[in-house]
Structure 1
Amino acid sequence: MSDALLAWYDVHARDMPWRVSPADRAAGICPDPYRIWMSEVMLQQTTVAAVRDYFHRFTARWPTVRDLADAPDEQVMGEWAGLGYYARARNLLKCARVVANDYDGQFPDTYDALLTLPGVGPYTAAAIASIAFDRPETVLDGNVERVMARLFDIHDPLPASKAQLKARAAELTPQLRPGDYAQAVMDLGATICTPKSPACGICPLRDPCVARQAGTAPELPKKTPKKPKPTRYGHVYLAQRADGAWLLERRPDKGLLGGMLGWPGSDWNDAPQPSPPFMAEWQALSSEVRHTFTHFHLILTVHSAELPDHMTPNALQILDKHDFRPSDLPTVMRKAYDLWRGQ
């Protein structure tokens, strides 16, 4: 089956900005581990279509891991805005600095060593080891889970069936061209063995696919139903001085939007009380900010105030109007700014 899939991949491999084509790889051109790592971190919880432009911008601005390691946190966070999951961006910087300082700018080439890097979990370590270094590691993302569930007609629901699906995927991982194989099985899931209406008629694995024979392919993989997301509420406070400077706060390193600049505000919970950061003539905007995180929906009431030039409240950062870039804010905070600007 791996031979059949690799033959299909040699013809139908998707063109990715971080990928070395099978023809180029056969000619001896090796993937850049930095680009593979960058793409895998960006692709966590995000689609290829959403990642392409971000990848081009990041690698144009910071072409090597040393360049990224030397970048100011605010610049990297600003470029990341819109991809979400800001813990990934913080770990991206931590990992780049570890590779630059502890590994002389060269990514380690084994699964176990990669697993010690900040932000690199089992999937990412396996993907980098396989794709960048051609190690026969088992790469298991959502596409591979779907292919394995259908290929072997596995009806146990995810996430409990992950170990079973990984064992099946490991059985098929070849010693020859494992990096190309890992990308081939992901491409198969993304383009043919799709969640809805899989194109079984043109699949290179149609004959051995047990779910196709049983007619159960469209219903696999099965998943344990997710609990509905709760809704939380909060208040944010946008204050601009007469000289155009903005008052912002640095969020704690841990937690949502950790370490990023944003508007001061309340906690996010079921019924937060207004909690202005200082006394001012605060005015609540008529519209609200709505934003969805991984585990909850958020509704923010936005308050604004104009301040005199001299006002510098404690514990807040004063950002000159020439240094303030809305694009550096996390998405939910930028939504509050956009709402204020459009009032």
Structure 2
Amino acid sequence: MRSGEKTAHAVSTRFDGLPAALLDWYARHARDLPWRIGPGERARGVTPDPYRVWLAEIMLQQTTVPHAARYFHAFTETWPTVEDLAGADDGDVMAAWAGLGYYARARNLLKCARAVAEAGAWPKTEDALRSLPGIGAYTAGAVAALAFGERAPAVDGNVDRVFARLLAAKGPWKEEKARIAALVRALVPADRPGEFAEALMDLGATICTPKRPNCLLCPVRDWCAAHGEGEVERYPVKPEKKARPQRRGEVYAVFRGGDVLVERRPDRGLLGGMLALPTTEWLESGMAERPGWADGGDAIGEVRHVFTHFELRLTVKRLTLADAPSGFEWMSADEAGEAFPSVFRKALKLAR
């Protein structure tokens, strides 16, 4: 046993009984989610579909359960199996993904589906799953535990928060995250790893919430050091976030009757492969050169959008043209609005 594993094992003895208490609570209070095989179904021998588990986990990154559920239903109705998704047209998948953000995930979604379809089966271990496109440590652990019953941890932001409070973790956050990951791995029960992962997800989502955690109903309160201190909301103790840089640009809503001018963004880069309105470059200082055909028109307002690493402010200009400039095409404004990512959907809505 390595030193880190020994430390985690020693700490885990303080949490003897916690997995059983958590699983007992989960059996009575599990959320009913469209991608989940619940405790009752698992007890009857129903096994999860790894495709649905994986798809849900990718969609749930950086969004809420209600928002992801609508997309999950649409995807699984259109592409019921990983082989169906692997054979899908890239543009159709990108359009169906619009509104979920982080479009590199959609590109990796297709790459992963095609890799699995080509192999003929899903890899069943945490390590093997990490070799697939777009699957990191959390997703690999979640799919391995939920779909294949491997004794693997699934440590996301909710789980980090739960264990930061259980430990009253005050050290540097990077070190505490590593400590939490090792501890969760040590606590995963060999006989019910999937339900343990789901129970932790539900605990963080419904009881041990960022604000106003409901400690009175918490099944693991007796093990919680932060509760003992009476300062649960103090944790996790993270470094202050740096202010996001600001970028500016112009975006053009160009109409011809009921159509609007669109382009397909390059596959690489931000919003890669997505349908979009024409736009200048987005710069932190100065203003990018606008295309010659966009010199006219009216500036009708501004839209703002927050990306992971910067905030964007776009001046929206509305124009009318008879012919599409080179590299662009006309598309029904209604259809475009459904296919656009959020920032261009906002601009189109303002222009209309």
- From 275, 288, 291, the equivalent of 1:277 is 291
Q: How does 1:77-96 map to 2 (within 5 A)?
A: 77-96=94-113
Q: Distance in 1 between matches of 2:300 and 2:331?
A: 27
- From 20, 26, 46, the equivalent of 1:3 is 20
Q: Distance in 1 between matches of 2:346 and 2:212?
A: 36
- From 16, 39, 45, the equivalent of 2:33 is 16
- From 274, 298, 301, the equivalent of 1:260 is 274
Which residue is equivalent to 1:147?
162
Which residue is equivalent to 1:194?
209
Q: Distance in 2 between matches of 1:195 and 1:312?
A: 49
Q: Which moved more, 1:262-271 or 1:35-44?
A: 262-271
The one-letter amino acid paired with 2:28 is V
Q: Distance in 2 between matches of 1:12 and 1:321?
A: 46
Which residue is equivalent to 2:348?
337
Superposition deviation, residue 258 in structure 1:
0.8
Q: TM-score, normalization: structure 2?
A: 0.89
Q: Distance in 2 between matches of 1:278 and 1:245?
A: 21
Superposition deviation, residue 59 in structure 1:
1.1
Superposition deviation, residue 44 in structure 1:
0.7
3-state SS in 2 of match to 1:325: helix
Q: Distance in 1 between matches of 2:287 and 2:157?
A: 41
Q: Distance in 2 between matches of 1:280 and 1:186?
A: 49
3-state SS in 2 of match to 1:235: strand
Identical pairs, percent: 51
Tell me, yes or no, if the aligned pair for 2:261 and 2:331 is still in contact at 8 Å.
no
Q: Distance in 2 between matches of 1:129 and 1:336?
A: 41
Q: How does 1:124-135 map to 2 (within 5 A)?
A: 124-135=139-150
Q: Distance in 2 between matches of 1:263 and 1:281?
A: 16
Q: Which moved more, 1:317-326 or 1:201-210?
A: 317-326
Deviations 1:92-122 (A, max 9, x none): 1111111112x22x32111111111111111
Which residue is equivalent to 2:90?
73
Q: How does 1:7-46 map to 2 (within 5 A)?
A: 7-46=24-63
Distance 1:97 1:124, change over 3 A: same
Q: Which moved more, 1:249-258 or 1:155-164?
A: 155-164
3-state SS in 2 of match to 1:319: strand
Distance 1:283 1:156, change over 3 A: same
Q: Distance in 1 between matches of 2:237 and 2:176?
A: 9
Tell me, yes or no, if the aligned pair for 1:159 and 1:224 is still in contact at 8 Å.
no
Q: Distance in 2 between matches of 1:281 and 1:188?
A: 55
Q: Distance in 2 between matches of 1:234 and 1:95?
A: 34
Superposition deviation, residue 147 in structure 1:
1.4
Tell me, yes or no, if the aligned pair for 1:246 and 1:324 is still in contact at 8 Å.
no
Paired residues in the alignment total 335
Superposition deviation, residue 240 in structure 1:
3.4
Q: CA RMSD for the aligned pairs?
A: 1.9
Q: Distance in 1 between matches of 2:199 and 2:54?
A: 18
Q: Distance in 2 between matches of 1:245 and 1:48?
A: 34
The answer to whether the aligner puts 1:177 opposite 2:192 as a matched pair is yes
Tell me, yes or no, if the aligned pair for 1:245 and 1:318 is still in contact at 8 Å.
no
The answer to whether the aligner puts 1:325 opposite 2:336 as a matched pair is yes
Q: Distance in 2 between matches of 1:274 and 1:284?
A: 18
Distance 1:318 1:218, change over 3 A: closer
Tell me, yes or no, if the aligned pair for 2:298 and 2:319 is still in contact at 8 Å.
no
Superposition deviation, residue 17 in structure 1:
0.5
Q: Distance in 2 between matches of 1:239 and 1:197?
A: 47
The answer to whether the aligner puts 1:110 opposite 2:121 as a matched pair is no
Superposition deviation, residue 41 in structure 1:
0.2
Distance 1:307 1:144, change over 3 A: same
Distance 1:249 1:22, change over 3 A: same
Q: Distance in 2 between matches of 1:16 and 1:96?
A: 22
Distance 1:340 1:30, change over 3 A: same
The one-letter amino acid paired with 2:342 is T
Superposition deviation, residue 141 in structure 1:
0.7
Q: Distance in 2 between matches of 1:23 and 1:278?
A: 64
Which consecutive unaligned segments of at least 5 residues does structure 1 have?
A: none
Deviations 1:180-223 (A, max 9, x none): 11111111111112222222222221222222222232211111
Tell me, yes or no, if the aligned pair for 1:18 and 1:36 is still in contact at 8 Å.
yes
Superposition deviation, residue 270 in structure 1:
2.4
Deviations 1:320-342 (A, max 9, x none): 5499532111111121211111x
Which residue is equivalent to 2:3?
none
The one-letter amino acid paired with 1:23 is G
Choose between structure 1 and 2: higher helix proportion.
2
- From 292, 297, 310, the equivalent of 2:311 is 297
Superposition deviation, residue 313 in structure 1:
2.8
Q: Which moved more, 1:273-282 or 1:194-203?
A: 273-282
The answer to whether the aligner puts 1:211 opposite 2:226 as a matched pair is yes
